[in-house]
Amino acid sequence: MKVHLTKKTLNSNLLIFRNDRKTIGLVPTMGALHIGHLELVKKAKESTDVVVVSIYVNPTQFNNPADFEKYPKTLDKDLEILDKIGVNIVFTPENQEIYPSNPKLRLNFGLLEEVLEGAFRPGHFNGVGIVVSKLLNIVKPDVAFFGQKDLQQVAIIKRLVSDLSFDVKIDVVRTVREADGLAFSSRNMRLNPNERMAALVLSKALFFAKSELLRGVDWLTVKNQAVQLFESEPLCRLEYFELVDPNTFKILESFNPRDLSSICTAAYVGEVRLIDNLPIID
């Protein structure tokens, strides 16, 4: 496994594979790797010849400086894991390599960034769009792999790729959950044991709501019952629990089994903010 800190050495390495007509897959991460990340790598290994994993905690997508400072950083452990599972290349740039100067560009994704994560984290998707654009331009992968858990981010990236004509396929990998239902997240390692148990309310509420919708209960009734689940958990503070079109992120007032829809939620568990989502019909 080759580890690169600069674009120059990374591209020299990638050129060897391109000259051999190898397909390149990119798995962008912010490190603190967990099983969800490893599923992305697994899918990349199955779908492409060469797998590049980037590890970079992008400061421009954090609207809360304290959240950026507390984000888990486990680079040595991450590199050991990636080496064991046979990743070809890891890109671990410093800030100066990605942002030699402060970016002046501002991206506007319309409704996609005005609701849910966009509303609660102003500027977040601008930062996501800029860093993903940079990584796609640097690596130039044939396929880039993202997790369904960050559903709104996936919609943002698909819009970015379409509107700016990036020559890359976006492959979305299903959310991976722990045995008790909690979605894998790097932020989970910040939870103490009591908070870890309390965090189960996110997945419990999602699966409860999906089941109720599929048996014909109207959405507003289901939503109110789900909100009550959060209110019964003293360590949690709900931000949102909404039914959306997963492509446009238009908030839906009712459930139609003929249309694509997903339930999205975000909540604080103690001081840790977690997000999750669940498609109603896979």
Number of Cβ within a 10 Å radius of residue 218: 12
Tell me whether residue 228 is annotated as binding: no
Q: Give me the catalytic one of 37, 190, 196, 223.
A: 37
- 7 among the known binding-site residues? no
275 is in an annotated binding site: no
**Is 258 labelled as part of a ligand binding site?**
no
Instruction: Check if 37 is active-site.
Output: yes
Closest CA to 273 of 226, 248, 244, 238: 238
Residues 6+ apart with CB under 8 A from 178: 184
Q: Is 225 annotated as a binding residue?
A: no
Question: CA nearest 140: which of 18, 21, 47?
Answer: 18
**Does residue 37 have a known ligand-binding role?**
yes
Query: What are 31's two structure tokens?
Result: 């490190």
Instruction: Please give the DSSP secondary-structure letter assigned to residue 251.
Output: B
Residues in the chain: 282
Q: Was 4 annotated as part of a binding site?
A: no
Nearest one of 242, 246, 244 to 267, comparing CA atoms: 242
Is 273 marked as binding a ligand?
Answer: no
179: helix, coil or strand?
A: coil
241 is in an annotated binding site: no
Pick out the residues of the known binding site for beta-alanine.
Answer: 61
Pick out the residues of the known binding site for ATP.
Answer: 30-37, 147-150, 176, 184-187
Pick out the residues of the known binding site for (R)-pantoate.
Answer: 61, 153
Pick out the residues of the known binding site.
Answer: 30-37, 61, 147-150, 153, 176, 184-187
Q: Which residues carry out catalysis? A: 37
